[in-house]
Structure 1
Amino acid sequence: MELLSGELEVEKHVKYILSVEKNKDSFESVTMEHLRMNGAYWGLTTLDLLDKLEIVDQDEVISWVMQCQHESGGFAGNIDHDPHILYTLSAVQVLALFNKLDVLDIDRLSDYICGLQNEDGSFSGDIWGEVDTRFSYIAICCLSLLHRLDKINTEKAVEYIVSCQNLDGGFGCTPGGESHAGQIFCCVGALAITGSLYHIDKDLLGWWLCERQLVQSGGMNGRPEKLPDVCYSWWVLSSLILIDRVHWIDKAKLARFILGCQDKENGGISDRPDDAVDVFHTYFGVAGLSLLEYPGLKAIDPAYALPVDVINKIFFGRK
């Protein structure tokens, strides 16, 4: 890609991510209090992609993560909060970044996730029973990282995901739900991890996904007629890579859109140019650039949403 590596404000983004964590009274920190585990995953993975994770006190992070584990085996978004499958995956991903999955009681944790699978193969997010294909992806991704995918009914899990496929090739959050790029990533990612991508009409889905790129800005949206948003640089791009249709979009134009959403003075990336930055969009912007093979960034795995070297350690015991 013909881009200057200096266009990404690496040092400023690092400084921004660290400032979000340090300033507990800031608006962003307060509004993220209930989902701090997700924020830790977004921020720390961004630092790793920028090859700056060593500046973090990993013992402090791991200690905090383990304090968020509930007696059920699942993890909460913060200490003394209720457990949810969303935060459980983020906790596992954070520990994976530091190569510390061995601190977990893996059987206890995998039992928690298995207990959330329903008769039809779907997954609930927690004891209250909300069902969503996001939770199917999270369960499959999490158990795969823990080498415990055999503990669930994978066949039924795949059947449920396939039942959420629409006539346009996309996927919704439940059967009949509107196709959405975020849900499509969850379904495609889960099917990729389980070796089930043959269920997808790759040309039909690829066409729907590449139509998410807006001609004027080069950015991606999540559904037809919506504004572009940096986070869809990840949801759409990773899905296109997994179904081998990424060559159908203008990658250079997308990279320019992401870079145009940076706060070049204070660091961080926003959803669209000149909007307020946050750690969520900073992560998905950098992750998107990683998928675009932007110079100087570590490679990220499009299915597991973790750096490739982290995945290699988990599955192959090597860097």
Structure 2
Amino acid sequence: MPLFEFHDLRQLQKDDDVRTESSREQASTEGTLNKFYNPYIQKQALFFDSLVLFIEEHTKFAKKGLRTLPSYFDSLDASRPWFCFWCCNALSMLPNLGNDPTLVSDFSNFLGNFCQDKEKGGIAGGPGQLSHVAPTFSGTIALCALKANQGLDLIDKQKMYSFLYSLKDPVSKGFRMHVDGEVDTRGCFCALIVATVLNIMDDKLTEGVAEYIVNCQTYEGGIGAYPGVEAHGGYTYCGLAAMMFMKKAHLLDLDSLTHWLARRQMSYEGGFQGRTNKLVDACYSFWVGASFPLLEAALVSLKDPKDRTELDQQILDYLQWQPPTLDSETRIKYTPKTFSLKDTLKKIKTHHNSEEYCQIEEMEATEPYLDLQDSEWMFNQTALQEYLLLCCQQESGGLRDKPVKQPDFYHTCYALFGLSISQHNPSGSLAVLGDCKNLLRQINPLFQMCTDSVSNVLNYYGGRTSV
């Protein structure tokens, strides 16, 4: 395996000698990460073979969130289905759930009988609370991740549909997070993934939603929470995924979206930021990292079916997603100018090298410096794995935003999601950095759970293998 000159390929910030608060924070972050990267840089041959994911420790950490939590978690009492989602998904990617035979029945009972509103539908953040589309999403997907069909049987699909429809805003056509709550792209994603999983999606639910999300795409290319606000990695994923569920991702400006996503991978750190001029954060390993497979599938959908390659079909199969049937006029209208990956990277690189252009956080679009010939996503999978394995693991268990932060269940789940995406390619080839035992189970980035769990629930609700 060839070695590389780390600092030749992973550049520190360039601030044009103009010191700002954000440039000082960036320099401080790079200085902190340098302490983790330096031993790696000095002893690459050793580190390439010895980088280890602390599987046993992360397993123990995730299990802590499943039963009894310390009193200082009281402020998150309205987020209890999220703990089910984060911890069960984290454990599902690791070797096994351990010796807890009552987990499925206990969670099915808790989410289906105690958190579900039996009168109005939907799932609340805790027993006796108001139904909310976010815990409705997290609770439903947690049951799917556990393959808890007995828990899914407890969900009243008719009342769930009524609940989701009650959240549609008659003016914007987007979805509210709860009755009289805010309208944003999160609400659209949460409502549509639940409707997709439970097989209750129809035109009445989706009416006007695509137009709302298109209006949330910003001049930068990413997607904001609602029209007129800054593009954000989490909302970009939510908006893009929602469009995928409606088979309308091609309506977005995929050209500018590609460029915005490509610029979120940090030059020195290797991880992703969530917004322009912000710091790296491990959770965006998923929110941004997962957007690339969705984007590639959206691009494939614009190809004439007879022109699709074997890899194109593998991308669709990876997401368990069937593209819409588009006529030639629609394909021509919405196909971006920089359609191919090669042309996209060339254009981005040229843009980066122009004298008038300088962004301290953007990553050069070079060929992967580690010889992973099967790297097929539009980001540097090796650099992301380096950041997660070297900088984000707590040796006692759990993953964190960055080294100055403490591990938590949220970042543990989404960092592992991102790590899984960077290890698995649609062709079935693997790109695992370090010890071969670091390999996680494959997740489906569109559904936020392991691929076999997606297959189980799609088959359970309608005998489907894809959507």
TM exceeding 0.5: yes
- Asked if 1:64 corresponds to 2:64, the answer is no
- Asked if 1:279 corresponds to 2:416, the answer is no
- Asked if 1:93 corresponds to 2:137, the answer is no
Task: Say which SS state the counterpart of residue 32 (structure 1) adopts.
Answer: helix
Distance in 2 (CA, whole Å) between partners of 1:177 and 1:55 is 47
- Asked if 1:8 corresponds to 2:138, the answer is no
- Asked if 1:21 corresponds to 2:21, the answer is no
1:46 aligned partner, one-letter code: A
Look up the match of 1:116. 167
Contact 1:69 1:75 in 2 (8 A): yes
Q: What's the CA shift string for 1:69-121, capped at 9, x where partnerless?
A: 12321111112222111111111111212332222211111211111112232
Distance in 2 (CA, whole Å) between partners of 1:50 and 1:135 is 29
| 226-235 vs 167-176, greater mean Cα deviation | 167-176
Query: Could you tell me how far 1:202 is from its partner in structure 2?
Result: 2.4
| 275-284 vs 16-25, greater mean Cα deviation | 16-25
- Asked if 1:104 corresponds to 2:155, the answer is yes
Distance in 1 (CA, whole Å) between partners of 2:143 and 2:180 is 26
Contact 1:162 1:199 in 2 (8 A): yes
Look up the match of 1:263. 394
Look up the match of 1:306. 449
Query: Could you tell me how far 1:151 is from its partner in structure 2?
Result: 6.0
- Gaps in structure 2 of 5+ consecutive residues: 2-46, 297-340, 342-375, 424-431, 433-437
Query: Could you tell me how far 1:171 is from its partner in structure 2?
Result: 1.0
Give TM-score, length-normalised by structure 1. 0.93
Contact 1:261 1:274 in 2 (8 A): no
- Asked if 1:235 corresponds to 2:365, the answer is no
Look up the match of 2:18. none
Q: What's the CA shift string for 1:183-229, capped at 9, x where partnerless?
A: 10000101111111111232321111121111111111111111100
Contact 2:66 2:83 in 1 (8 A): no
Aligned length: 317
Distance in 1 (CA, whole Å) between partners of 2:74 and 2:223 is 33
Contact 1:172 1:183 in 2 (8 A): yes
- Say which of 191, 213, 223 aligns to 2:265: 213
- Say which of 58, 71, 74 aligns to 1:30: 74
Distance in 2 (CA, whole Å) between partners of 1:247 and 1:94 is 27
Change (3 A) 1:312 1:277: same
Look up the match of 1:78. 126
1:314 aligned partner, one-letter code: V
Look up the match of 1:46. 90
Look up the match of 2:7. none
Look up the match of 1:173. 225
Query: Could you tell me how far 1:30 is from its partner in structure 2?
Result: 2.9
2:90 aligned partner, one-letter code: T
Distance in 1 (CA, whole Å) between partners of 2:290 and 2:69 is 33
Distance in 2 (CA, whole Å) between partners of 1:30 and 1:97 is 25
Give TM-score, length-normalised by structure 2. 0.64
Distance in 2 (CA, whole Å) between partners of 1:13 and 1:219 is 20
Larger radius of gyration: 2
Change (3 A) 1:85 1:233: same
Distance in 1 (CA, whole Å) between partners of 2:76 and 2:181 is 23
Query: Could you tell me how far 1:164 is from its partner in structure 2?
Result: 1.0
Contact 2:420 2:443 in 1 (8 A): yes
Query: Could you tell me how far 1:312 is from its partner in structure 2?
Result: 1.1
Distance in 1 (CA, whole Å) between partners of 2:245 and 2:87 is 24
1:313 aligned partner, one-letter code: N
2:407 aligned partner, one-letter code: V
Task: Say which SS state the counterpart of residue 152 (structure 1) adopts.
Answer: helix
Contact 1:182 1:232 in 2 (8 A): yes
Query: Could you tell me how far 1:5 is from its partner in structure 2?
Result: 8.8
Distance in 2 (CA, whole Å) between partners of 1:5 and 1:290 is 18
- Asked if 1:163 corresponds to 2:215, the answer is yes
Contact 2:285 2:418 in 1 (8 A): yes
Counting aligned pairs with the same residue, the percent is: 30
Task: Say which SS state the counterpart of residue 290 (structure 2) adopts.
Answer: helix
